[in-house]
Amino acid sequence: MSAPQFHAMADGRIIAFRHGPGRGPALVFLPGYMSDMTGSKATALADWAAHEGRAWLLLDYSGCGESPGDFADGTLSRWCEEVVALVETRLAGPVILVGSSMGGWLMLLAARALGSRVAALVGIAAAPDFTDWGYSPAQQAALGAGETVFEDNPYGPEPTPTFGRFWADGNAQRQLGAAIPFDGPVRLLHGQDDADVPPEISLRLAAALRSSDVQVTLVKHGDHRLSREEDIALLLRTVAAL
């Protein structure tokens, strides 16, 4: 990967990103919770776009990856501001938002903010509203009291924290309870063996989207990450078809 560039937000936040020029629509990858732009799906998408002569943008939310800041300050609203700022200042023309896990929730929020600039959406184990369905009643009570909840992390040695600030903001950004005002093509990829986000969530999202051009692909034996060689090939075929 090339060295990152840095974008300064109006309030002083510094956002690391990588960008390649080319034809549009530009592909914008939104990582999941505690993930960054060096993951296998993000880099595969950027490599494919570069090979095809298409514009692309990867980024790290503040407090993640190569972006400075405190992860505990992160919220969906805050990270959405960063995505929108980068798209508006670094890209011209239409974009396709590709969101993985929490990034699939964030792409819905960013699509609302960017409006007609968003040509299509691609969700990979999209996890909208996980502050609602992803925690036990005891955990929700603790988060509602402003406490931090730690959970086992199957992808690393350190437990995964959820902060009360993030949880409260997420509850205010829930999407599945009403029609989602997006009319373009949407493709949702979901592993049938996903232990973190039930495949039902992608079906609920498909039903909530106003668009009539929504397709859900369930991947047999696919896990939450969908990072196997065949999973990434499916992602690239999906994007290419759009």
The residues assigned a catalytic role are 101, 194, 224
For residue 78, what is the DSSP state? H
Closest alpha carbon to 121 in 109, 135, 138, 134: 109
Query: Which residues does 222 contact at the CB level (< 8 Å), separation at least 6?
Result: 190, 191, 192, 193, 194, 228, 231
Closest alpha carbon to 184 in 242, 126, 234: 242
Distance CA 7, CA 13 (A): 8
Chain centroid to Cα 77, Å, comes to 13
